[in-house]
Amino acid sequence: MTIPSGNPRVQDVEVEVLSDNWYVLRKATFDLQHRDGSWSRQSREAYDRGNGATILLFDPDTRTVLLTRQFRWPAYVNGHPDGMLIEAPAGLLDDEHPEVAIRRETEEETGVRVGDIVHLFDAFMSPGSVTERVHFFTASYSSADRPVAGGGVAEEGEDIEVLEVALSEALAMVGDGRIVDGKTIMLLQWAAARYG
């Protein structure tokens, strides 16, 4: 891990790997200069799972979006009734360019081979404890763009249901709590502002 040097208010950084099982959990201890000029020794843990990408697939003719539903253990153990989250297609970059990775993930999860992709923005989804930066994209699709069924990669344990939902219904699902995934809510709110 390369320790950044762009902030002179962060000094004497020491990093310890706490776990390197599925991804990497590191503990950093450092001196932080406060706004009043004083310094304090601080310690923070950060989970590094790599960066990711997500995409909103929108059919402008039918005004529908293509979403997925799959089991998410962390949501299940934190109070989600069945752990089956409705989400926009997404995945880790795995050392690929974000656009290359989201094309791969989109086809694996939904069966769609996307054409032109538009980059919307990047966001840190949980910056207090996770290093992941997510690249947000959108693309149009039609039924002709789905040469295969999707559903995920069986060898990776994926069992993904593909849902085609009217944009208006997807927004209603955010309002009533059927969609609770942060990246998906952000993309749907973007679509609501863009397409009305």
3-state SS, the chain, equals CCCCCCCCCEEEEEEEEEECCCCEEEEEEEEEECCCCCEEEEEEEEEECCCEEEEEEEECCCCEEEEEEEECHHHHHCCCCCCEEEECCEEECCCCCHHHHHHHHHHHHHCCCCCCCEEEEEEECCCCCECCEEEEEEEECCHHHCCCCCCCCHHHCCCCEEEEEEHHHHHHHHHHCCCCCHHHHHHHHHHHHHHC
Is 83 found in the same domain as 113? Answer: yes
Is 36 found in the same domain as 129? Answer: no
Domain-embedded: residue 143: yes
Is 70 found in the same domain as 19? Answer: no
Is 80 found in the same domain as 15? Answer: no
User: Into how many domains does the chain fold?
Assistant: 2
Domain-embedded: residue 5: no
Is 119 found in the same domain as 96? Answer: yes
Q: How confident is the model at residue 154 (pLDDT cuts 50, 70, 90)?
A: low
Q: How confident is the model at residue 153 (pLDDT cuts 50, 70, 90)?
A: low
Domain-embedded: residue 2: no
Is 129 found in the same domain as 35? Answer: no
* pLDDT tens column, 81-133: 999 999 999 999 999 999 999 999 999 999 999 999 999 999 999 999 999 99
What is the pLDDT, as a whole number, of residue 38?
97
Domain that holds residue 36: 10-48
Question: What is the pLDDT averaged over residues 3-24?
Answer: 93
